[in-house]
Amino acid sequence: MRRLYCFILLLALVFILPAFSQQRWEKTYGGASGDFGRAVQQTLDGGYIVVGETHSYGANPQVYLIKTIASGDTLWTRNYWKAEHEYGWSVQQTSDTGCIVAGGTYSPGDGWQVYLIKTNASGDTLWTRTYGRAGDDEGYSVQRTTDGGYIVAGWTNSYGNGYQVFLVKTNASGDTLWTRAYGGTGDERGYSVKQTQDGGYIIAGGTSSFGNGSQFYLVKTTATGDTLWTRNYGGTGWEESKSVQETSDRGYIISGETDSFGNGSQIYLVKTNTFGDTLWTRTYGGTYPDQGYSVQQTSDWGYIIAGRTGDYPDCQVYLVKTNASGDTLWSRNYGGTGWDWGYSVQQTSDGGYIIAGETDGFGNGYQIYLIKTDANGSSGVEENAEGRGQRLEVKITAIPNPFVSFTTMPGHPSDRFALYDVSGRRVGVYKGDRVGEGLGPGVYFLRPSAESTKLLRVVKLR
């Protein structure tokens, strides 16, 4: 009997401990001239790999790759260039613990081309490849395929008929095996590709050739890129899909944006069966413009969607968690006082979520923004954990906020305030009359007492 009790206790610890070990933090990365995050993936060591674009390092805009440890602290960074302008939009860790990165490269003589970079585990370049013809060709999604090669999706205008979805299949060395273009007489764009369980591919993007206006565009192919079927989804306005994933029932989940359903721009989620027939659709958002950029099925068979809510000059990263039917379980938004945008989300091994995007809300211009949450979407520092547009009531006030030298805390009974940076580290304890004096620029969080769970976000400009 004693052994049975010990076994039951061990099982309880296995399931309970992860809930208490979920990391929560927010980090920014970059220099002084503008840096943008586009995709994130958890790596085998529990850390993260993030790709985007940097204007801070190098003479021209370049692909920017960041490797972090599990706490978000930087392990190394790399930037890659070929010509006049490069960007990275998709990244995946490969079986050799290196990375494959897809994006675009531009030179005046060749225009835009799809840009593929293979690195080792330290981020050093093993090889690069470009794909395209005389027109403009851009890459937005890459995945390692079961034969050890890669599949890359984007768009092209090198094949006539305006812009079309562009698909490139390579071997393990990046050499082209075949290319395909898909579309009609209008314009098509490809943003996301996944290999499916039958060895073929599913591609999501937008089309103006089929349906009314611009709609979601879904293309299912064989293993050699031949079209099996295409579908378009939406209303009479504007739809564009940014992300697709094959689901556990061998159907598909597609996310993007729509303005066809009466409340301006909203997140649009479409669930289909294995043939692309619609099972249900959902929209998420309020009266502000809302866009969905990334969707993933979660371990409870529901879905997690990342994007943005609000409009220039003030928008925030927007995260929506649904059940298997697409009904909202909760939503969260994150960010500072300016422009914050979420482009990529993934469920992490501890059951939480990692989100990558960009921010200019923390006083240092545009930077890459990485958010690690627990299973309930809490990063530990966000003001609005109760949902989109619902700020937590904070009983303290900072004047001025943002500030340059220091801020004050008028009218609060406590005479001391703990101040934390965006990683949750306490950086000082201040009296209410001169808070933040002597700190560098950035975003900080004030807590009036050790017992309080309320945080007030303050921003030091310089």
CATH of the domain at 279: 2.130.10.10
Specify whether 305 is located in the same domain as 410: no
Cα separation of 39 and 191, whole Å?
12
pLDDT tens-digit readout, 49-96: 999 999 999 889 999 999 999 999 999 999 999 999 999 999 999 999
Q: Residue ranges of the chain with pLDDT lower than 70?
A: 1-21, 312, 382-397, 409-417, 421-426, 429-433, 447-456, 461-462
| 275 and 183 part of one domain | yes
What integer pLDDT is reported at residue 431 of this predicted model? 58
Give yes or no for a contact between 116 and 124, defined as CB atoms under 8 angstroms apart. Answer: no
The CA distance from 424 to 350, in Å, is 19
Q: How many CB atoms lie within 10 A of CB 240?
A: 21
Q: What is the pLDDT of residue 312?
A: 67
Q: Could you report the per-residue pLDDT of 185-220, keeping only the tens digit for each?
A: 999 999 999 999 999 999 999 999 998 889 999 999
Q: Within this chain, do residues 362 and 460 fall inside the same structural domain, yes or no?
A: no
Is residue 250 helix, strand or coil?
coil
Tell whether 386 is covered by a domain: no
Residue 418's domain comprises: 394-462
pTM: 0.80
Can you give the pLDDT at residue 450? 45
| pLDDT score at 338 | 84
- What's the total number of domains in the chain? 2
Does residue 444 share a domain with residue 323?
no
Coil/strand/helix, residue 7: helix
Q: Has residue 363 been placed in a domain?
A: yes
* pLDDT at res. 21: 67
